[in-house]
Structure 1
Amino acid sequence: MAAAAVEGIVGTDQNVFAGVDSHTDTLHVAVISDNGGHLADAEFTTTPAGYAAALAFIDAHGNVTAIGVEGTSSYGAGFTRAACSRGHRVIEVNRPDRAERRRIGKSDPIDAYAAARAALSGRASSAPKYDTVTGIRALHNAARSAVKARTAALNQIGSILISAPETIRSKYGPLNSMDRTHALARIRPTGDAVHIAVLTALKALARRVKELTTEHEALTKAIDTAVTADNPGLRATYGVGPDTAAQLLITAGGNPERMRTEASFAALCGAAPVPASSGRTNRHRLSRGGDRAANAALYRIALVRMAGDARTREYAARQTAAGRTKKEIIRLLKRAIAREIFRCLTTTVNVPEIADLRPLRQSKNITLSAAARHLGVWPSRISDVERGIRRLDDLTHAYRDWLQTA
């Protein structure tokens, strides 16, 4: 089909735009002229040969100005890499909104032509996401599915105990989640047929919970290693854990420079206020767009900082005194955090070296308590700094200076 699609096309010097609607096994390509006229469309396979044939089909119609692709980091990733390697300008295209879909319908050719028109009109202008965070995305998805499966198993245990025989319910019902799991994983089902069946099911679910917990912990360590190697400055930022850092890197993609300003990153995360003014009303409303997983990551960072960061707590207290609600304060914090995360993603952030702190302290026979007493902090704070659990640059520099002179 690919060869037949290219056959008979006469070369021309006109400027053209292309659109690609990508799927698992096929991609549909449409070509339009620079005034929006439909030229041709064809379907190709998602294989190296199919990508080459699709690009030859596009090139045969004229000088290619840009190619709009739906799903540059998912179904269209292979075609995007092939097109970029050929020197084409690829633009990431979001699917048409629902109103347009209702008006013109939906099919592969319709979506491909819509992608081409989006590239022509400038409605789509974002550079594609380079898939250099594939490993982090795979680990993150696996860890997230482990958590979901673990939660489902815990819920099943609770559901079974609701209707379980009274002896089983009274024994295991009052226990907290972890104690119950450990107890059920060790039981030996005995009694009549009903008791044996219920206890066998509970034991299987409890063992599943323990296995998934161990699996999640291993995946979290692997994620931590991967995100620290990819962006140590982001991982070292206060309140950013392995899961949060992974999500922000996935949202930004492997080429965060495609986001021109920190405002564009805030909009991508759904943390940029949207104007909602009309007549005498002048206000902004909460953005409900963007990547909601990234928005949730910013929310978690805000909660961590409100709980443990002195500057954030002082800021929250000032805003509370000014009459703002907790929801409004968190929205303000998410916008400020998005600005800080953008700097970590687009610039090199120097992270203080910590590997030498503990050996240096131990070589001088200084205890954690003595170091903490001198610096006026809790010993756990010094331990966190030595192990890299918490980034406190000022304390790290002061600690190193004191150790070197002690």
Structure 2
Amino acid sequence: MVVLGIDAHKRNHTAVAADERGRELGTHTTGTTSSDHLRLLAWARRFGEHRLWAVEDCRQLSRRLEADLLAAGERIVRVPPKLMANCRKAARTYGKSDPIDALAVARAALREPDLPTAQLDGPSRELRLLVDYREDLVTERTRIINRMRWHLHELDPGLDPPARSLTHSRQVAVVEDRLRDSDGIVARLARRLLARCQALTDEIRELEKEITGRIETLAPNLLKIPGCGTLTAAKILGETADVTRFRSEAAFARHNGTAPLPVWSGNRARHRLSRTGNRQLNTALHRIAVTQAHYHPDARAYLQRRQNAGNTTTEAIRALKRHLSDVVYRALRRDARESHSNVITLATAA
């Protein structure tokens, strides 16, 4: 077995072939187009047919490479950057370069047997792209509203719309009416910002409708969890990127940062808050936990039991998030199984 470690960059990729003991067999640097990837594959074939590609997990840089290799029938695993960094520090070589990093990626893949495998992009990535784009639009709208409020204050300090009201057509109409008779560059800029804000609001609502339609089809079981709305479910599904790549609930909890870290070296077992993992997933789980803490009877009873046992409110919420991580994992697994069954049923019917 030969492992080919890849250090991916925007304009080039460096590959290092390593044997089963981690010894370097060869190095090759290529471009990032599909024709470059074919030449890379031809170079790799000199090391035999039993090979495994190990790519540093930075998919914005390696997505085209992974797609081309998967289309050619190659096997790929993704190596988290922290594993690569640890291997590089433990090596006998000093410094940092693309070949050194690529060799560290290959050695990390040899050392870790259960790394996630790369797959072709599916509906979850499309959903993530939509969610990320919507969040960018919301951020842009907030920036525009903040600037517009300063213009409105300059024109008339009494013209102060309530917080979060400039996304509603009724309040927008009120502001438009107040600005209609105002002259000058400040009023003109305020009108333009208000029109831009309204256009962004319309686009955000269209995206929310599309996201809702997709998530209701892809993750009906996830939506059944109390406190998990469509946007939160879309965030979870997009950031998880295929739940089947996690071998257990514990692995998923470690990935999303809800698994507490052990920090003891003696007779008393202690754990502390983990600040590692996917923070976007962690935020989505926190949103569900806080929502359930307000109105869901089972969650409120669970929090009360934790507090009676000596936990603070913050510690109880962390424990609830860890419990919700398992609930979300099981819901995602059910959705994945049902989606797979539907695909088989449609293929059989065809």
How would you bin the TM-score normalised by the shorter chain? 0.7 to 0.9
The 3 A distance-change label for structure 1 pair 153 and 69 is same
**Is the Cα–Cα contact under 8 Å of residues 88 and 101 in structure 2 kept in the other structure?**
no
- Equivalent residue, structure 1, for 2:223: 235
Q: Structure 1 pair 268/175, CA: closer, same or farther in 2 (3 Å)? A: closer
Specify whether residues 213 and 106 from structure 1 end up closer, same or farther in structure 2 by C-alpha distance, changes over 3 A only: farther
Deviations 1:100-148 (A, max 9, x none): 7789443322222221111122277222254212321221111111111
Residue pair 2:221, 2:334 contacting (<8 A) in 1 also: no
Aligned counterpart, 1:145? 136
* CA distances 1:339-390 after superposition (whole Å, capped 9, x unpaired): 0111111224999xxxxxxxxxxxxxxxxxxxxxxxxxxxxxxxxxxxxxxx
Tell me, yes or no, if structure 1 residue 204 matches structure 2 residue 173: no
Q: Which residue of 1 aligns with 2:344?
A: none
**1:150: Cα distance to partner?**
1.2
Equivalent residue for 2:275, pick from 288, 293, 309 = 288
Report if the CA contact (8 A) 1:20-1:112 is conserved.
yes
Identity, in percent, stands at 29
Q: What SS does the corresponding residue of 1:75 show, helix, strand or coil?
A: helix
- Cα 1:182/1:98, change in 2 over 3 Å: farther
1:81 to 1:196, Cα distance in 2 relative to 1, 3 A: same
How far has the Cα of 1:284 moved from its partner?
0.6
* Aligned pair partner of 1:225 in 213, 219, 236: 213
Provide the rounded CA distance (Å) in 2 between the counterparts of 1:311 and 1:342. 19
**Structure 1, gaps ≥5 residues long:** 1-14, 352-406
Cα distance in 2 between the residues matched to 1:70 and 1:100: 12
1:23: which partner in 2? 9
1:52 aligns with 2:42: no
- Could you tell me how far apart the structure 2 residues matched to 1:125 and 1:52 are? 25
Figure out how many residues of one structure are paired with residues of the other and give that number.
329
The aligned residue for residue 245 of structure 1 is 233
Match of 1:183 in 2: 174
- Inter-CA distance 72–231: structure 2 relative to 1 (3 Å threshold): farther
Aligned mates of 1:225, 1:258 — CA distance in 2: 25
Distance 1:122 1:350 in 2: 27
Distance 1:349-1:36 versus aligned 2 partners, 3 A rule = closer
Establish whether residue 269 from structure 1 lines up as the match of residue 256 from structure 2.
yes
- State the shift of 1:161 in Å: 4.8
Deviations, residues 262-319 of structure 1 (Å, cap 9, x unaligned): 0100111101111111224421111111100000000011112112212112222333
Q: Could you tell me whether the CA contact under 8 Å between 1:302 and 1:330 is conserved in 2?
A: yes
- Give the TM-score of the pair, scaled to structure 2: 0.84
AA at the equivalent of 1:339? D
> Can you give the 5+ residue segments of structure 2 that lack an aligned partner in the other structure?
339-350
Q: Aligned residue for 1:343?
A: 330
Could you say which residue in structure 2 is the equivalent of 1:305? 292
C-alpha deviation, 1:338, in angstroms: 0.7
Matches within 5 A, 1:4-403: 15-71=1-57, 73-96=59-82, 104-122=94-112, 125-132=115-122, 133-161=124-152, 164=154, 168-170=156-158, 172-173=159-160, 175-178=162-165, 181-188=172-179, 190=181, 196-254=184-242, 256-348=243-335
Relative to the length of structure 1, the TM-score reads 0.73
SS at match of 2:265: coil
TM-superposed deviation, 1:57: 1.2
2:257/2:278 contact within 8 Å kept: yes
Report what 2:347 is aligned to: none
Amino acid at match of 2:223: R
* Cα distance change, pair 270–176 in 1 and its aligned pair in 2 (3 A): closer
Q: Which structure has the larger Rg over C-alpha atoms?
A: 1
Whether contact under 8 Å (2:148, 2:193) holds in the other structure is: yes
The answer to which structure, 1 or 2, has the higher relative contact order (CA under 8 A, 6+ apart) is: 2
Task: Kindly report the root-mean-square deviation, in angstroms, between the aligned alpha carbons of the 2 structures.
Answer: 2.7
Contact 2:55–2:62 at 8 Å: present in 1 too?
A: yes
